[in-house]
Structures are given as C-alpha cells and as structure tokens.
Structure 1
Amino acid sequence: MKQRKIPMRKCVVSNEMKPKKEMIRIVRSKEGEISIDPTGKMPGRGAYLSMEPDVVQKSWDQKILDRVLNDTLTDDFYQELLDYVSHQKARRELFGNGK
C-alpha cells in the first residue's frame, strides 16, 4: 500500500520541522483579529508553534508571535495560548497521539 505524505510545518520559535498535527496554528485575519486555529483551516496569515508549553512561554517572553504576525498581542492571549497548549499536551499524554 502507498505511504501517505505527512504535511510538515516549521515552528516559528524553534525553527524545527514537525508534522502539522503536532503543531498549533495562530492566525491573523484580514480584519486584524488574532486567534488560535485548532483546525488549521481558518483564512488568514498563519504561524505555527510546537505543542510544547516551554515553546509558548519562550514566544511570550521574546514576543516572537508579535513580530511574525506584525501585531501586538496581549498577555491575556498568550495566557490563553499557554493554557490551551498545556491542556492539549496533557490530553495527548493521557489518551495517546491519536485523540
């Protein structure tokens, strides 16, 4: 049987190439609204982060997403992102990668 191609994306913080399913996409819409995109299909400019709390914390400390998305992100957004990534990582450890 033919092996399916796995889409790869680069983390904007660590510059590592990883499978798209192991990343979280942050999207800026045309209206300038920035949000977390769990589906990876929202329209707009996207930036990928590894699904690791320490990567999100580094992004917050160095304001990497602000530079990549050309916008100023609030501390509330970074906290929401950190909570989301921590929750998703805990789920993957609990239920495995397939869920």
Structure 2
Amino acid sequence: MKQRKIPMRKDLLTNEMRPKKEMVRIVRLADETVAIDPTGKQSGRGAYVALDPAAVQKAKQKKLIDTAFGIKVAPEFYDELFAYVDHQKARQELFGNAQ
C-alpha cells in the first residue's frame, strides 16, 4: 500500500514545519477580527500555530499575530488562544493523535 503524503504547515510562532494535524489554525476574518478556526475551513487569511503554550505566551509578549495579520489583536485573544492550545495539547497527551 502506498504511503499517504502528510500535509505540512509552517508554524507562525517558531517558523518550523509541522504536520497540519498537530497545529491549530487562526484566521483573520473580513471584518478585521481574529478567531480560532478548529475546523480549518473558515474563509479568511489563515495562519497555523503549534500546540505549544509556551510559544503562545512568547507570541503575546512580542505581538507576533498582530504583525502577521497587520491588525491590532486584543490581548484577550491571546488568552483565549493559550487556553485552547493548552486544552488541545492535554487532549493529545491523554488520547493520542486520534481526534
């Protein structure tokens, strides 16, 4: 049986390539807001973030998402992203990569 290709995406925060399933997509919507896109299918400008809470904390300090999307992102979004990433990482550790 032929091996399937694993889609890779670049992490916005660390600039390293990782499998898409190990990342979460954030998206800039048409109304200039930023949201977490757990389905990966929402329309808008997207970027991927690895499931690494420490990287999200550094991104909040350096305002990396603001720079990437060219808009002002509310500090609450970084807190929401941190909580989501922390939760998803804990799920992966408990249940493995099967989602």
* Correspondence 1:26-65 to 2 at 5 A: 26-65=26-65
Cα drift, residue 33 of structure 1: 2.2
Sequence identity (%): 56
Q: Which runs of 5+ in 1 are unaligned?
A: none
CA distance in 2, matches of 1:42, 1:31: 13
State the aligned residue count: 99
RMSD between aligned alpha carbons?
Answer: 0.9
Match of 1:18 in 2: 18
CA distance in 2, matches of 1:52, 1:39: 19
CA distance in 1, matches of 2:31, 2:20: 25
Cα drift, residue 13 of structure 1: 1.3
Q: Which runs of 5+ in 2 are unaligned?
A: none
Cα drift, residue 35 of structure 1: 0.4
Matched, 1:95 2:87: no
SS at 1:26 equivalent: strand
TM-score normalised over the length of structure 1: 0.95
CA distance in 2, matches of 1:78, 1:8: 24
SS at 1:24 equivalent: strand
TM-score normalised over the length of structure 2: 0.95
CA distance in 2, matches of 1:44, 1:75: 21
SS at 2:31 equivalent: coil
SS at 2:18 equivalent: strand
Letter of the 1:32 counterpart: E
